[in-house]
Chains A and B, each alone.
Chain A
């Protein structure tokens, strides 16, 4: 039977749980051996990607992307981090900030397959749609 990249990643996460670093290297060796044995090396990139999402989901870590037209003040981005923590009950928020002039103003926050769009550009778009209809 073929084992999917997701199944590999899930089993790796379960095997790695609650072990010390030294134990882990043994587990990883075995894992690499199984992959080689099954000739699934091509799936490794996918496995690593999925493993990261599983890890961050299980450990309560969220990667968020914050886009704004100008650099936000420390307090406002901190506020957004707090908001996300409260909303998602995540333990850790890794916020990546990006400057995108085309937003004109406001911000876009992306996390966990979700988007909060508070940019001036999209408001203007909505206004345009409303007037042209």
Chain B
């Protein structure tokens, strides 16, 4: 006992004896003006862009970040309690660019944009820091997107496939299930070798608490970090949040791992940046956003990438979310982000209220790189399926006018109805790629034409049960990732075996 005590005391003494402070010259300034999370500071001759500034107040130190470097003053956003800062307070430049703690320790935690824990699970002992702002990887370091991100959502994985390293926008009005798609995707990453980061920007804390509970329940917090800048947080923290989340993702990228990052949502981010810019007296432009609001999002989303083998082969897949007002896709921020991303998933109110959930509009949603990332088996069924879906959409609008339709058209309409029935999927029930292939295979080969439309859901559930009971087929598809003639025969066998047991089939 006593030896360990002596040891500890000795170590402590040594630590203190060895401790040396360096007396160095630092740049200081005085606060000229404070308002709404913004400070104007005189002095600070050598302040750098996005350098951390320390405000010495009566209530302790408060951190800030330099954003406007002008001839005679510096404009800074305040990251802490700005009510503590008074005019004339001293400000110290730290010569450090704004950075956040990163590392494995962040996994499973809920943190604020500065990397401080919000979940009450104690201190995060991280020794590594990454800068919040970083230039995106260049051309030399990148590779083309070729591995899939399985969202587990039937409509998306088949029609709008997302690849690792892609940026896919989720866009739609409020309350249409944008966040639901993102959360389902996180849940489905279990065992897929993917780290997830969910950045909540200006979300209600109750909503985030629900999400955390749901992810914990699904066992998804084991590979997920949540960066929370809630609705009551100051604009400066909202502004930093997505960059901080991206910095945490870049740590895993540099280790050669795959990361999925969700920015929920960037419209609120743009609004908070507008607030900061207007307070800093930058000139307003369209919709009062500052001139660099495009760069705000492009520099963030450009950091999503797929690196080539020489640079570790990691990837960051970004799923930004944009909330539109009354379906207006041509507003400023939606058009900006649509043009930056590699495709969008468009959610539509009409579909949602008709009961097609997820309410993905198959016509307006696109993925500009994803199909290269689909597994072979999925590619085979999805190509045909997309064609069926397009034909159905075209015919359905015609068919409303006349009942006199030829046999071929009727058949296509019937199959389309079943297809749209398959697209329906409940929340928190992601489906494996193999099962998706199975159901789509059933449809495009006409094996479902004799199932009544209202029975499609039951048929589907039963089919999955059958497949689970007979593991072989699912396993083969999941392992081989293609539909060879041999596997195809087995799939057909499985389906016909299953159909024998059904009593509701049409004659």
Please list the residues of chain A having a beta carbon within 8 angstroms of any beta carbon in chain B.
6, 110, 112-118, 122-123, 126-127, 130-131
Stretch at the interface among B22-30, B339-347, B476-484: B22-30
* Cβ-defined partner of B21 (8 Å) among A110, A126, A131: A126
Chain B 7-49 against A: per-residue CB contact (8 Å), 1 yes, 0 no? Answer: 0000000011001010111111100000000000001110000
Taking a contact as CB atoms under 8 Å apart, the answer to whether B19 and A116 are in contact is no
Given A122-B21, A127-B16, A131-B15, A113-B72 contact (CB < 8 Å): no
CB distance from A69 to the nearest CB of B (A): 15
Nearest chain B CB to A49 CB, angstrom units: 10
CB proximity of B278 to chain A, nearest CB, Å: 21
Q: How far is the CA of A122 from the CA of B23 in the complex (A)?
A: 10
**CB < 8 Å neighbour of B19 from A115, A122, A127:** A127
Q: Known contacts A114-B27, A117-B26, A123-B21; can you find 13 more A-B pairs with CB under 8 A?
A: A110-B28, A113-B27, A113-B28, A114-B26, A114-B28, A115-B25, A115-B28, A116-B23, A116-B26, A117-B23, A122-B21, A130-B19, A131-B15
CB distance from A81 to the nearest CB of B (A): 16
Count contacts between A and B, CB distance < 8 Å.
35
* Residue with the greatest number of chain A CB neighbours at <10 A, chosen from B19, B23, B44, B92: B23
- Residues A6 and B72 in contact in the complex (CB < 8 Å), given A116-B25, A127-B19, A131-B15: yes
16 A-B pairs within 8 Å (CB atoms) are namely A113-B28, A113-B43, A113-B44, A114-B25, A114-B26, A114-B28, A114-B45, A115-B92, A116-B24, A116-B26, A122-B21, A126-B19, A126-B21, A127-B16, A127-B19, A130-B19
Q: Mark B146-174, 1 if CB is under 8 A from A, else 0.
A: 00000000000000000000000000000
Bound Cα distance from A122 to B29, whole angstroms: 18
User: Using an 8 Å CB-CB cutoff, how does the interface string of B299-337 with A read, 1 for contact, 0 for none?
Assistant: 000000000000000000000000000000000000000
CA distance in complex: A126, B23 (Å): 11
Closest CB pairs A-B (n = 9): A113-B43, A123-B21, A118-B23, A115-B28, A115-B26, A113-B45, A126-B21, A116-B25, A127-B19
* Chain B residues closer than 8 Å to A122, beta-carbon distance: 21
- Give residues of chain B (41-88) contacting chain A, Cβ–Cβ below 8 Å: 43-45, 72
- Across-interface contacts of A117 in B (CB, < 8 A): 23, 26
Query: Which chain A residue has the least Cβ–Cβ distance from B123?
Result: A133
* Residue from the set A113, A118, A122 with the largest chain B CB neighbour count within 10 Å: A113
Residue ID in chain B nearest A124 by CB atoms = B21
| Residues on the A chain within 8 Å of B43, using CB | 113
Q: List chain A residues, Cβ under 8 A from B28.
A: 110, 113-115
Chain B residue at minimal CB-CB distance from A113:
B43
Q: How far is the CB of A4 from chain B (nearest CB, A)?
A: 10
Chain A's closest residue to B71 (CB) is: A6
Q: Which B residues lie within 8 Å of A130 (CB)?
A: 19
User: In the complex the two chains form, what is the Cα distance from A118 to B25 in whole Å?
Assistant: 10
Shortest distance from the beta carbon of B14 to any chain A beta carbon, whole Å: 12
A6 to B72, CA, bound (A): 10
B23: chain A residues within 8 A (beta carbon)? 116-118
Specify the chain B residue showing the minimal Cβ separation from A122: B21
A126 to B22, CA, bound (A): 10
Contacts of A112 in B (CB 8 A): 45
| B16 to chain A: closest residue by CB | A127
Whole-angstrom CA separation of A77 from B24 in the bound complex: 18
The CB with the most chain B CB atoms within 10 A, among A6, A114, A122, is that of A114
Interface centre among B19, B21, B24 (most CB of A within 10 A): B21
Residues of A contacting B45 in the complex (Cβ-Cβ under 8 angstroms): 112-114
Q: Which residue of A lies closest to B24 (CB)?
A: A116
In Å, the complex CA distance between A115 and B21 comes to 15
Minimum CB–CB distance from B93 to chain A (whole Å) comes to 9
How far, in angstroms, from A127 to B13 measured CA to CA in the complex? 12
B28 to chain A, nearest CB (A): 5
- CB-CB < 8 A to A131: which residues of B? 15
- Interface digits, B87-98 against A, CB 8 Å rule (1 contact, 0 not)? 000001000000
CA distance A122 to B43 in the complex (A): 22
Q: How far is the CA of A106 from the CA of B308 in the complex (A)?
A: 55
A98 smallest CB distance to B (angstroms): 14
Q: Which chain A residues border B72 with CB–CB below 8 Å?
A: 6
**Cα–Cα, bound, A46→B171 (Å):** 51
The smallest beta-carbon distance between B128 and chain A, in angstroms, is 14
Closest Cβ–Cβ distance, residue B27 to chain A (whole Å): 6
Q: What residues of chain B lie closer than 8 Å to A115, measured between beta carbons?
A: 25-28, 92
| A126 surroundings in chain B (CB, below 8 A) | 19, 21
Minimum distance in angstroms from B22 CB to a CB of chain A = 9
Q: Which residue of B lies closest to A119 (CB)?
A: B23
Minimal beta-carbon separation of B499 from chain A (angstroms)? 66
Across-interface contacts of A127 in B (CB, < 8 A)? 16, 19, 21
B19 — which chain A residues lie within 8 A by C-beta?
A: 126-127, 130
